Amino acid sequence: MAGNRYILKPHFLGIVGDLIIRGFFLGITYMIFNFVNGFREGIYERYDVDFLSSFTLDIEIMDLAILLLIYIVSVILIYFLIRFFIKFFAVWYQLGGKAILDYDQGKIIATKMKFPFNRVSIESKWHDIIEVEIEQTIFDQAFDTGTVTIEYLVLSDVDSQMKDIQLKNLKNPEKIKKRLLG
């Protein structure tokens, strides 16, 4: 709390769990790829063929079906690898955001970085914080980090409405919740 402002920033430990999970799936994808590649190489050696000649030479129908299945699985694995790298870099972008709760002016100012190069800034007037929700994975619990969702009331001359803002990878989410609701 700086004056009547409360600044919430993501912490590096918050993304460690995401990185561990992504590394685990990368390892599984790599093992499946090696397993499938071993089958493919075995068929290639048995018939003394390569990718293109495997469709033109006399190969048993069962081995050809296995090769086609291997090619399909390989394409799916390549898709997962591309998706992994996109998600891996997107996780790092979460560290670039922050939220400022200005109690004097009654504003919430949130800045988020979105992959690949977008910056989103949201500024809202608020009257009261209604609810603070904490979401933690098992890794978040181990590193004492988590996702905090703040639900707040916005008043206007015409009506009022509920809005929320979600902040990921915050350190000490229980402490944050107590400060916001206290």
Phi, psi dihedral angles at 151 (to 5 degrees): -105, 125
CA 76 to chain centre: 20
Question: How large a percentage of the chain has pLDDT more than 90?
Answer: 40
Query: CB neighbours of 181 closer than 8 A, spacing ≥ 6?
Result: 129, 132
- pLDDT at residue 151, rounded to an integer: 94
Query: CB neighbours of 160 closer than 8 A, spacing ≥ 6?
Result: 127, 153, 154
Per-residue pLDDT tens for 159-173? 888 989 999 999 999
pTM here? 0.75
Residues 4-8: what's their mean pLDDT? Answer: 90
How far apart (Å, rounded) are the C-alpha atoms in residues 109 and 115?
A: 20
The domain locations on the chain are: 5-11+97-181, 15-93
Per-residue pLDDT tens for 82-107? 998 888 888 888 788 899 999 888 89
Q: Is the pLDDT of residue 3 over 80?
A: no
| Radius of gyration over every alpha carbon of the chain, rounded to an integer in angstroms | 25
- pLDDT at residue 16, rounded to an integer: 87
Q: Is the pLDDT of residue 27 over 60?
A: yes
Fold of 5-11+97-181: PH-domain like (2.30.29)
Question: How large a percentage of the chain has pLDDT more than 70?
Answer: 98
